[in-house]
Structure 1
Amino acid sequence: MTMPGQQPALTPIANTTRRETAVIAIRRALLSGELKPGQRVKETELAESLGISRPTAREAMNQLISEGSLVQEPYKGVRVAVSSPAVVLDVAEVRMPLETVAALRLARDASGEGIARLRRALDAHLAALSTGDALFSSRTHLDLHRTVWEASGNEMLKKMWPLVESQIMMALNVDQGVFHAPERDAELHQRLVDVIASGDEDAIVAEVRAHISNSAESVVGMMREDVLEDASPAR
């Protein structure tokens, strides 16, 4: 999985770390681009690259399949999931009204517990961004948006999150892969949390929509540019 002369992103891991460390290593390879969208992932090669048993590699792959990062294709094996402009826009369309409801519920919480929980999630994300670790910050990014849903106190939203988490995670990872800009990320999420904490409902509705739709549209624009570049004849 590594070009000659390159330092492999998939490096052997200690046997004692097993499945979870294997999952982390694969996630890091996905974010770094060593494992590319549509690329086939073979259990035997993965086990050899990571220095783990095939059953452990299979468990790690199954976890990532359940999360949506990998896809099991009948009679074809496992491949890295492929996103598309349509998928990114569909996820954004679903997220906007639901995350707006969650943010408004958070703002109306007189106890302030939900906002306090959201600020802790923001602090964790900002700390992750400061490390420069793309994998770490991708997880705290997802955790921050999960907190908006779960800390809202809306039981239906809590139940719905697991149903959409994998698609939201994929959209966020695409966003991070296209725009790996920690300062931009920190500014956008600081503003989102501050607006929710302000309690200004009109501002909250506008900010949540802008936060989600602007990101999706930027990613889609970049994805379409990549397609055009790939389709351009060589000069």
Structure 2
Amino acid sequence: MTGSQGFTPESERVTRQLRDEILDGVRKPGSRLVERELAESLGVSRLPVRDALKTLVAEGLVTPRPRSWAVVREFTPSDLADLDEVRGALETLAFRLAAQRHTREGLQRLRADLDRELDAARAGDAVAARRAAADFHQTVIWLAANELLSELERVMRSRVRWLLGQHDDLLGIAEEHEALYQAIADRDVTRVESLVLHHLTTSRAAVQGHRKPDGA
């Protein structure tokens, strides 16, 4: 009897692929997502595509349209301000708790995320660097060891990962993460709180710079 542990439902596979393409910037805001076209390009029936679009709507990455299509969400300045406020509150708490509660295993996992980000940033691999940066923030939530905080993070995960991908200073962000990592490792809560406030400010500016049209 063969096990089914390696089996991934088509709807999950389609969801993961579309999510990655949106988060990595392959599918731009406003891009059409038509069930029939996606089904043909991905080699699946329309049902898993329909299920994937429903999931991505719930995650806040896709905006539904009448009948059988949708568009990649275009975040308005108001959307970004709301997301930034909530992200700031959650991450300030998460970084503080991570500094107080981290384990050796957790710190090793955070270091691995950071090393991947630094390596990718130095190599100019924007997709890999941004993914690792988002992993770093997600690991900090895990280190905080607060189940309710983790639950809130899961609800917001896709939108926050999208926001964390909206920057161009790959090495600058990675170096700020390195400083945060060291403060967490030292259990220096005061320094963590100062660094995370600075990081949120520079991250906000980086997002605004990334979204600004060339020549603006």
TM-score, L = length of structure 1: 0.71
Cα distance change of structure 1 residues 65 and 184 upon mapping to structure 2, 3 Å threshold = same
The alignment's C-alpha RMSD in Å is 3.3
Cα distance change of structure 1 residues 136 and 222 upon mapping to structure 2, 3 Å threshold = closer
- Offset, 1:44: 0.6
Are 1:212 and 2:204 an aligned pair? Answer: no
- Offset, 1:52: 2.6
Moved over 6 A (4+): none
Are 1:140 and 2:132 an aligned pair? Answer: yes
Are 1:105 and 2:92 an aligned pair? Answer: no
Partner SS for 1:106: helix
Amino acid at match of 1:145: H
Cα distance change of structure 1 residues 70 and 137 upon mapping to structure 2, 3 Å threshold = farther
Amino acid at match of 2:160: I
Contact 1:103 1:204 survives alignment (8 Å): yes
Are 1:168 and 2:160 an aligned pair? Answer: yes
Are 1:46 and 2:34 an aligned pair? Answer: no
Q: Deviations over 1:29-50 (max 9, x none)?
A: 4356553212221011112223
TM-score, L = length of structure 2: 0.76
Spell out the pairing of 1:57-96 with structure 2 (5 A cutoff): 57-73=49-65, 77-96=69-88
Q: Deviations over 1:45-67 (max 9, x none)?
A: 11222333222322332332233
Q: Which runs of 5+ in 1 are unaligned?
A: 1-15, 230-235
Partner SS for 1:102: helix
- Offset, 1:20: 4.6
Worse-superposed segment, 16-25 or 192-201: 16-25
Name the CA distance, whole Å, in 2 between partners of 1:53 and 1:91: 34
Q: Which runs of 5+ in 2 are unaligned?
A: 1-7
- Pairs aligned (count): 209
Cross-structure match for 2:48: 56
- Offset, 1:204: 0.9
Cα distance change of structure 1 residues 191 and 221 upon mapping to structure 2, 3 Å threshold = same
Identity %: 33
189, 199, 209: which one pairs with 2:187? 199
Partner SS for 1:108: helix
Name the CA distance, whole Å, in 1 between partners of 2:89 and 2:67: 38
